[in-house]
A and B are shown apart, each in its own frame.
Chain A
């Protein structure tokens, strides 16, 4: 190779690398949304740390849009005790290592009063220390998760295993008449702890767990699992496999005739967004249990969806429960309620004390209230089943429970 060629090759290589890097930088520079209108008082500084880029960017972007939407509503109504909310965004990039540095920026440079965000459990674990311990700042985590997070000044506004299982599993056993469960799962913390709880509820209700098995997150071939489901005469698959491993699993399960022969698939993180990841026929009959579905018949929720659609017309990022967007809305409203209760005092201890007893009248799927001393909230839970009309999927709410206890801490 000549010298000229070599230098050309290297330059090309560097150029390609820089282009790749630019993709990351573009989304990660930090972002600020100042309130519109004139306010006399100093604004409340609210930090959003969520996954704008990377593998779970669709959920992160939905969170960010919902945060903008909720804050705009609050500011339009005159702010919190006369103070507007100013939003600061940092990208956690679906990568805990990048996230820690960016979250520190929120705390140290932006000096925010509260941080909301994080979607995966790995992300929460990574950013809670810089926020709560070293940062001495209030943290609100919005996603449904495996439970057991009992850190002081960390409030969880998504459903816990108890909220997702206590109603759904007895329903599957008693009403749908399923007796033999399989728990195929992705190999990480959420499925492991959720399964532990689910197994207890399954056995307490007189059904049986045929097998509980963990797979690498991107496993592409599931014939062994399908074989075990068939051999074990499983009639209910309680699934916690996640994308990208999920789609081949669901397809192979469907092709094996599991549903045709009376089997039932249940997946407790599945919302309206995720149905689109599969062909409609594979989703028909799926049971999910979440704090909100778009078909929930509640005037406030319907108005919320209409307003969200007006602010973000034709958006790809839906206001749904599985992506933590409902938890984000709830978290912002809880914070608003707490600051109202302290009459504008933003010190962490004062707001924490008020958060502990905070209550919101309305929200997606209904109101919610913190369980004092437990850092988790009671909320309405809905069981829904996927129906298919002319190739289009939708959820039909078939049962609901008011103010379900999170049973945490």
Chain B
């Protein structure tokens, strides 16, 4: 019994990590039509912010709170300088964001001297429930992810700003005619997506180690999640991330681990064959 609970918890924890990373990517892809290849590096910058705080003697908590703000700022600057020039050409946007990501990644690699850095959890250790040990930090990640999903959904679906963002996505010309500044909204949306990536990086880095490639390892699976869930909705990428994360963590139980990774992709491709628009096609937010 204990083992099943532990397994379910581990699965849930990894799914939460996946969902955290995919959220920002999904929002930028769905709301702006931009596939942000620098997303992995936004995650990296979030993690790096925590490292900077820790190495200058400030508490890790402050770093985690600061990371989304720092990334929102970087997001706004990047949107103004680079991303906005690509809205009409999504393919070029992929290359452009890839280049931005590459520059960020190599700069951070230089700053770290190529080393891996260990970041300790603000809340280390485990607690025992029903005779099973649960990692406190993984529990925090699960809870925070649930809150972020709820808040983001409420923001996009229930606030007037969210309505404006969705309106600008549906019909930018009409939105402008109604007096909505779409360029300001796009900058905000991009900053919001970047902030989510920064938060994800800050939260997950204690589970892994800080290195320049921390974001790239999740990037391909994150794109797969968005594709699987369906672009253009909020729930789609979240659901896609849950499925991909669940498979990535669960498959090594049944097949040898080196086969698990390719199998995730094969299963995902089969699903996409039958649902080319993703899990959720109807009822955009």
**A residues adjacent to B (C-beta < 8 A):** 1, 5, 8-9, 12-13, 16-17, 19-20, 23, 53-58, 61, 187, 213-216, 218-227, 230-231, 243-244, 247-248, 251-252, 255-257, 276-279, 281, 316
Contact = CB atoms under 8 A, between A and B. Distances in A.
Given A13-B96, A216-B261, A279-B120, A244 B10 contact: no
Contact of A5 (B85, B116, B118): B85
Contact of B116 (A223, A224, A277, A316): A277
B211 A244 contact: yes
A236 B90 CA distance: 52
B85 A316 contact: no
Contacts, number: 132
B82 A12 contact: yes
Nearest to B126: A255
Interface of B: 3, 6-7, 10-11, 14, 17, 81-82, 85-86, 88-89, 92, 95-96, 99-100, 102-103, 106-107, 110, 113-118, 120, 124, 126, 133, 135, 138, 207-209, 211, 213-214, 217-218, 248-250, 252-253, 256-258, 261
Given A9-B96, A23-B110, A244-B217, 8 more contacts: A13-B99, A57-B114, A61-B113, A218-B217, A220-B14, A220-B17, A220-B208, A281-B124
A56 B120 CA distance: 23
B114 A216 contact: no
14 contacts: A13-B92, A54-B114, A214-B256, A216-B261, A220-B248, A222-B252, A223-B10, A223-B249, A243-B116, A244-B214, A247-B209, A248-B208, A251-B207, A256-B6
Contact of A53 (B88, B114, B213, B257): B114
Nearest to A8: B85
Contact of B114 (A58, A223, A227, A256): A58
B103 A221 contact: no
Contacts of A279: 118, 120, 124
Nearest to A247: B209
Contacts of A53: 114
Contacts of B110: 23
A224 B258 contact: no
A58 B213 contact: no
Contact of B257 (A16, A23, A216, A256): A216
A220 B40 CA distance: 15
B211 to A, nearest CB: 6
A23 B159 CA distance: 45
Given A243-B211, A248-B207, A277-B116, A224 B257 contact: yes
B148 to A, nearest CB: 20
A316 B92 contact: no
Contacts of B218: 220
B253 A1 contact: no
B256 A213 contact: yes
A19 B248 contact: no
B114 A244 contact: no
Chain B contact residues: helix, strand, loop or mixed: helix
A261 to B, nearest CB: 10
B118 A13 contact: no
A220 B7 contact: no
Given A9-B85, A58-B115, A230-B3, A221 B96 contact: no
Given A16-B102, A58-B113, A225 B208 contact: no
B116 A244 contact: yes
Contacts of B211: 243-244
A223 B133 CA distance: 13
Task: Count chain B CB atoms within 10 A of each CB in A187, A223, A248 and give the residue with the most.
Answer: A223
Contacts of A12: 81-82, 85, 96
Given A56-B114, A255-B133, A1 B89 contact: yes
Contacts of A227: 3, 6-7, 253
Contacts of B92: 9, 13
A181 B257 CA distance: 18
Contacts of A230: 3
Contact of B102 (A20, A220, A277): A20
A244 B124 contact: no
Top 5 A-B pairs, shortest CB-CB distance = A57-B114, A223-B10, A224-B252, A16-B99, A247-B209
A247 B116 contact: yes
Nearest to A17: B99
Nearest to B120: A279
